[in-house]
Amino acid sequence: MDFPDNIGTPFPGMVFKNKKDKDSPMNIVTVIGAGLAGSECAWQLAQRGIPVILREMKPEKKTPAHTTEYFAELCCSNSLRSNQLENAVGLLKEELRRLGSLILSCADETAVEAGGALAVDRHGFAALVTDRVKWHPGITLVPGEVTEIPEGEVVIASGPLTSDALAERLQALLGENCDLHFYDAAAPLVSAESVDMERAWFGSRYDKGTADYINCPLDEAEYDAFWQALTTAQEAEVHGFEDGKVFEGCMPVEVMARRGHDTLCYGPLKPRGLKDPRTGREPYAVVQLRKDNAQGSVYNLVGFQTHLRFPEQKRVFSMIPALHDAEFLRYGVMHRNTFLDSPRLLDRYYRLRSEPRISFAGQMTGVEGYVESAASGFLVGVETARRLLGRPPVNFPQETAVGALGLYVSNQAVTHFQPMNINFGIMPPLGYRVKGKRNKNAELSERSLTIIEKLKEEVLP
């Protein structure tokens, strides 16, 4: 195979069985995009002896949502959500841990306190992923934007912010089924020292885990004034934006507020399980702040994804009593996301049905969430490597979270496809009654992890 001039010596340390192997593009996989899914996929391929060309357009070109040169940059929250096995995303994390996931390993090593959730030092996490991928002897990085789909084996993990040039090529390849968009939003960040702790307290909901959140209470009058300002604040222009196109999991806080006066009190401002130590009672509403870096100097407003204009964010969010003098280190932003009509296009291993040499991974497949994106990259990497090595695919059944995601994304019976977080609803029921939802979920997780343990020897390189 001819390598581009800017790659230099390809695959340092990689041993080829013979010259035919080295010259055959079928034994080399191009991964486009070094986000969570692309980094995980490239790592899994290289760990199994498959040489990888990793194409990443940063730092030469960035999207509006990216601010660093790191791989696996977390554009929105720094939380990977629940770590508990009674929660489906907690199960997915544990499956990936046991199966040798790069992303979960780096997340665990850079974790910050977040109660029962797994949150990470945003920059520390991305820097660690970048370091491990760049220094892997089986991965060669080629910087710069990809504008054409390469020949040979390809994994497209360019993410929900795929560049216009590549999106046009995908449109030509896939037809109208590729032309689907939704909008995503990131929450603001504030400095910890600017929070008025005389009007806030540290704690976790129902005192679960450690007291890692800053809780900012509002009484009824304060909430009403905040709601009025929020629902009438001026939004930034977002081309083609409509409330109906907002994915529920990343809905801007102002869009949610417009659905009703108390809607926020059942969502991100829910006071349940948060007793103000000064009064001994639950406030009317509570805004939670979560640590965004290991030093605890930066916090994000949980659930406050927004596309308000920056001056309006400062004005409205400063109406929260504990944030009256808040220093905003980053304002919330809104950006376009793209996903495929995957049930019509992809199989359970995220391969393009019409052209199996091409696979997709990450959020553009319709898996929603950091961990879910990593899981898709993991599965694509493992199965692509096995196929190129002449081995049969691993059967991750629907009883496992990894398998359930792939089977949901490829389920042609799904007529109105929307991005999906992992949940126990897409996994088969137990077949017997268990009292209590948490107990039932715990047994679903135990069933899954029993299967994963049996698959480990087959899956691990």
Summarised one tens digit per residue, pLDDT across range 154-213 is 999 998 777 778 888 888 888 765 555 556 667 899 999 899 999 999 999 888 878 889
Q: Given strand 298-301, what is the order of strands in its sheet?
A: 201-203, 213-218, 285-291, 298-301, 189-191, 328-330
Give yes or no for a contact between 323 and 195, defined as CB atoms under 8 angstroms apart.
Answer: yes
Query: How much is the pLDDT for 181?
Result: 59
- Lowest-confidence segment of 172-181, 263-272, 328-337 by average pLDDT: 172-181
Decide which of 61 and 91 is more confident. 91
Query: How much is the pLDDT for 183?
Result: 61
Check whether 281 has a pLDDT greater than 80.
yes
Check whether 272 has a pLDDT greater than 60.
yes
Dump pLDDT digits (tens) for 32-52: 999 999 999 999 999 999 999
Band of residue 334 on the pLDDT scale cut at 50, 70, 90: confident
Query: How much is the pLDDT for 292?
Result: 85
Question: Is it true that the peptide bond before 59 is cis, omega within 30 degrees of 0?
Answer: yes
CA 14 to mean position of chain CA atoms: 31
Check whether 26 has a pLDDT greater than 80.
no
The domain segmentation of the chain, as residue ranges, is 5-180+339-459, 186-336
- Range ranked top by mean pLDDT from 140-149, 201-210, 420-429: 140-149
Check whether 415 has a pLDDT greater than 90.
no
Check whether 431 has a pLDDT greater than 50.
yes
Q: Which segments are annotated as binding site?
A: 33-38
* Overall fold of domain 186-336: Elongation Factor Tu (Ef-tu); domain 3 (2.40.30)
Structure tokens given for 245: 């196109």
Check whether 96 has a pLDDT greater than 50.
yes
What are the Cα distances from residue 423, in Å, to 116, 343, 399? 17, 18, 12
CATH entry, 5-180+339-459, from 1.10.540.10, 3.50.50.60, 3.40.50.720, 3.40.50.1970:
3.50.50.60
Query: How much is the pLDDT for 171?
Result: 81
CA distance 116 to 84: 7
Query: How much is the pLDDT for 69?
Result: 86
Residue percentage of the chain with pLDDT more than 70: 87
Query: How much is the pLDDT for 413?
Result: 85
Q: Which segments are annotated as binding site for FAD?
A: 33-38
Dump pLDDT digits (tens) for 101-143: 999 999 999 999 998 899 999 999 999 999 999 999 999 999 9
Decide which of 63 and 284 is more confident. 284
What is the average pLDDT across 330-343?
A: 80
Q: Given strand 117-120, what is the order of strands in its sheet?
A: 79-82, 117-120, 111-112
Residue percentage of the chain with pLDDT more than 90: 65
What is the average pLDDT across 333-354?
A: 86
Check whether 12 has a pLDDT greater than 50.
no
